[in-house]
Chains A and B, each alone.
Chain A
Amino acid sequence: MTEVLKLGQKVPDFELTTYEPTRQDFGKFSLQEQIDKKRWTVLFFYPADFTFV
């Protein structure tokens, strides 16, 4: 069981394979890259494609 993150904690690095609608291609998201680029991130979880979000 992974320990759940709390507010104020550094998020452990993670990656996600993505679909990028702007390029109509697959890509990769990496939290470390966001930190390197000094970018803010909003992660938006939802239950399932083809339903309301």
Chain B
Amino acid sequence: MNSMPASYIWFIPLLPFAGFLINGTLGRRLPRVVVSSVALFFTAVPAALVAWLWATMCTASAPSSVDSVIRPYGYDWINITGLHVDFAFTVDHLTLIMLAVVTGVGFLIHIYSVGYMAHEEGYWRFFAYLNLFMFFMSVLVLAANFLLLFVGWEGVGLCSYLLIGFYFKKTSAAVAGKKAFIVNRVGDFGFLLAMFLLIVHFGSLSFKEVFATLAQNPEWQQQGAHFLPAIALLLLLGAAGKSAQIPLYIWLPDAMEGPTPVSALIHAATMVTAGVYMVARCHPLFDSSPLALTVVAVIGAATAIVAASIGMVQHDIKRVLAYSTISQLGYMFLACGMGAYAAGIFHLLTHAFFKALLFLAAGSVIHALSGEQDMRNMGGLWRKIPVTFWTMTAGVFAIAGIPPFAGFFSKDEILYRTFTSSNPLHIVLWLVGLLTAGLTSFYMYRLWFKTFFGEQRTKQSGDGYPHSVHESSWIMLLPLVILAVLSVIGGWIGIPAALGGNNGIEHFLDPVFANSAANEAVTASGHGLELVLALISVLVAVAGFYFAYLFYYEKPGTASALAQHNPATYKLVKNKYMVDELYSAFLITPLLMFTRGVLELMVDQGLVNGSGAVAGATTRGLAWITRKQISGNIRSYAGWLAIGAAAVITAMVFGDALKGLL
């Protein structure tokens, strides 16, 4: 096959944008079948292009990256003295993986949505936003400079806002969308400051130029230049916003107000992984600062375990998955913090498969139960919706880390790399990661048992229970099946050498991360250790399964007994450690009270309008004079002023002439 011309890369984002324009402007008047055809066509072609690009890039003679710049009107995007920013795309192996996830999983979720949204109002709006998301997400992963990445970054945030608030009549949905956008903006604040520092110290925003400058100035790192950790930590703040890490994770659980395909696409498979991608993309900056790397790892590990613990006690099936997503993203950050970027990206890839699958399957369950999301009202469904059950089972086993499912390999790789890392905290972080693996396995099997096994707890609907539960249509099941297959075999591309594989994904990403310091250290340690560690993590996963089996299948009621035994702990976890409440009580409420009480009443109405006391007195004085003279009519007052001013000006201008006359 011919290699793909570099300029074709531009079609990958621009085609979905065309789809957005068509559906966004005309969609309201088009029949649904046309709307969905447009949306599918404009996402299928980019997926095909990505496949072609992949084939091009993987030939033996292919360069390690392909660049393409466009100047549609003859100039850069931003072009001032001292700063140029281009519309520039670059594709390397990291981009390829991201593109595959975005366009591939994205296309599958588009297919699913055709069925899932079939009966919803605002069908055209949904697909327009979804295509717009594909546009921005492709821009994000293709960008060759920080600013263009930021375009995608903010753009996906916008789509997330619009799609979370898709059911905008519901107050909770409208509020959740707003919250997501604002919390993300806190992260973007960090991202922006990082870019400003980059401009100051590197004079450029292009990835290539920044990293080249960094490589040319090793003395910066040796002399401990403050700006390197500052930039890395500010970028991390941005990443923490987008990827829902501590302290900015609070928006993601609420984001579940959006339609389920949105949760699968944006809030599981693609957008929320943008932070991980950004950290991996900027790895030279993070590598240059051990402090920043350690912070990345600690935040990742802390987020992983905190979110997993909350996930254990949620009843809403989508919320369990949301906390699970936060927790798994924490794993990816942990990997990046250990310098094991390839392992992080590997987990990003497998997670995209199984988490998208889990969400879509959960959507299928919800669909089957006509909107029911509470697991306490499910149970015993496995015979009723077998395809959903079996595909979801693949997802559950994958995330729990049972070999040979996809999640096992990527998660195990992260734990192994953590254990063997040279970071002083590595044992602690590994233990946290291992514990999280156990909790993950526990809450996922809890979800599995509560949803599909045991007695049927479904509420009686009007026409009776047995009729209302129905398997979804083939258009929803097809993506489920494909993702289930990927969740089973997706991990095989990264089987470690210790298990007889060849670490394929790591070698694939070598051109991107080859310079990363942590990369070399590992290969030295033996295979024996790796096998032991793998065995431990499998045992932990099985233990999680066992407890879930015990609590929710063998002896249902154990869990609630346990909860009653430790009411304080249970309540604290159940209420998500009160973090939302803490933010509200210590940050938002005081800020608003300060604004209303001090700024508005004292400063604005007191000082500003009161320093105006002088002006005010003058006003009254003048008004009094005016009233005396021209009966307080403001218009004539101003008219007099105008005439007076005109007279003065005339006198000054024509003064000479007048003097001459006299």
Query: Is the pairing of A and B real?
Result: no
- What residues of chain A have their CB less than 8 Å away from a CB belonging to chain B? none
- What residues of chain B have their CB less than 8 Å away from a CB belonging to chain A? none
